[in-house]
DNA sequence: CCGTATCCCAGCAGATACTG
DNA sequence: CAGTATCTGCTGGGATACGG
């Protein structure tokens, strides 16, 4: 197995599930969308991601049981992704992280680096998680 | 600046602070130790880390304001590290992550991979975060 | 429509030796 | 005591083109 997890610690176990350039974003999008969503539709909502990486992240998340992949055998077939129960149970924690980040990181940047374009606090709060 | 953060999202901001092979471990150790702790003493508690990486992680965490570095100008000088207020405010979230990991990841592994040596649930619970 | 295949690269991480 | 210096390797991520 290539993926040799560092499961010596419960936090590392959890971190290994949400680490990955796009995973939290994907979780947010899935949550905010509500129901099942198709591959291309989901990818379209994530600016800057390439199909290879997108698929990779999805595969890992599916393996970790936080999302569910369903194939609809219509013609042509299509695929839907949604949060699993386990994935949903992560969202309160992600929300805490977002709150913490908003409070502790963005405030600094806005204060000291006004030239950096960063969403305003209001915009971020309004938009929820992401 | 080499470190070009992906601060387009509050979660990413928070993740960028705790991502890093040893950061959560270091935070746990600092928390569990309680007060200021010296460089070598802290490193000694983290099995498998090299001084270069250790220093790197500490520097980033200091830059992000979650730990504090104090130089004591005795002879010879020594250095102490401790959690900042901001760092301390992360710990409830890390605790949630640990609980989640314990519940959702270890249970599987114990069930399906009994040959993999993993701390028992009791051991993990007893030891707190890490 | 939903992905693979191929190629590429930067950056993180590790080992080890050394220093103010 | 608390770090640097140096070298080296791996893996995660990216661009693009193609396939069932």
Domain-embedded: residue A4: no
Domain-embedded: residue A57: yes
Amino acid A75: pLDDT: 80
Does residue A77 approach strand C to less than 7 Å at its CB? yes
pLDDT tens-place string over residues B106-115: 876 655 555 4
Using the predicted structure, report yes or no on whether residue B81 has a pLDDT greater than 80.
Answer: yes
What CATH code is carried by the domain that includes residue B25? 1.10.10.10
* Average pLDDT of chain A, as a whole number: 84
Using the predicted structure, report yes or no on whether residue B53 has a pLDDT greater than 90.
Answer: yes
Domain-embedded: residue A102: yes
For range A18-35, the mean pLDDT = 96
For range B4-13, the mean pLDDT = 72
% pLDDT > 70, chain B:
76
Domain-embedded: residue A56: yes
Domain-embedded: residue B120: yes
Nearest residue of chain B to residue A28 (CA atoms) = B11
Amino acid A128: pLDDT: 43
DSSP state letters, chain B: ------TTSHHHHHHHHH-STTHHHHHHHHHHH-S-EEHHHHHHTSTT--HHHHHHHHHHHHHTTSEEEEEE-SSS-EEEEEE-HHHHTTHHHHHHHHHHHIIIIIHHHHHH-TTS----HHHHHHHTT-
Amino acid B107: pLDDT: 76
Does residue A68 approach strand C to less than 7 Å at its CB? no
Ranking A84-93, A104-113, B23-32, B109-118 by mean pLDDT, the lowest is B109-118
Contacts with A, B 18-77, CB within 8 Å: 18-19, 24-25, 28, 64-65
From the C1' of C15, which residue's alpha carbon is nearest? B50
Q: Output the pTM of the full model.
A: 0.84
Domain-embedded: residue A27: yes
Domain-embedded: residue A93: yes
- Domain range enclosing B100: 10-127
From the C1' of D6, which residue's alpha carbon is nearest? B52
Please confirm whether the linkage preceding B16 is cis (ω < 30° from 0).
Answer: no
Using the predicted structure, report yes or no on whether residue A41 has a pLDDT greater than 60.
Answer: yes
Amino acid A111: pLDDT: 57
Using the predicted structure, report yes or no on whether residue B61 has a pLDDT greater than 70.
Answer: yes
Using the predicted structure, report yes or no on whether residue A9 has a pLDDT greater than 60.
Answer: yes
Domain-embedded: residue B2: no
Q: How many domains does chain A have?
A: 1
Amino acid B102: pLDDT: 92
């Amino acid at each position: 197995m290539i993926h040799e997890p560092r499961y010596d610690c419960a936090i590392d176990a959890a971190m290994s599930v949400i680490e990955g350039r796009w995973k939290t974003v994907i979780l947010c999008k899935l949550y905010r969308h509500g129901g099942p969503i198709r591959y291309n539709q989901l990818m379209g909502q994530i600016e800057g991601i390439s199909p290879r990486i997108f698929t990779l992240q999805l595969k890992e998340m599916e393996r970790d049981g936080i999302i569910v992949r369903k194939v609809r055998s219509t013609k042509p077939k299509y695929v839907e992704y949604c949060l699993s129960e386990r994935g949903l149970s992560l969202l309160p924690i992600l929300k805490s992280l977002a709150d913490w980040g908003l409070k502790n990181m963005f405030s600094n940047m806005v204060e000291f680096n006004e030239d950096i374009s960063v969403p305003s606090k209001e915009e971020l709060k309004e938009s929820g998680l992401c």
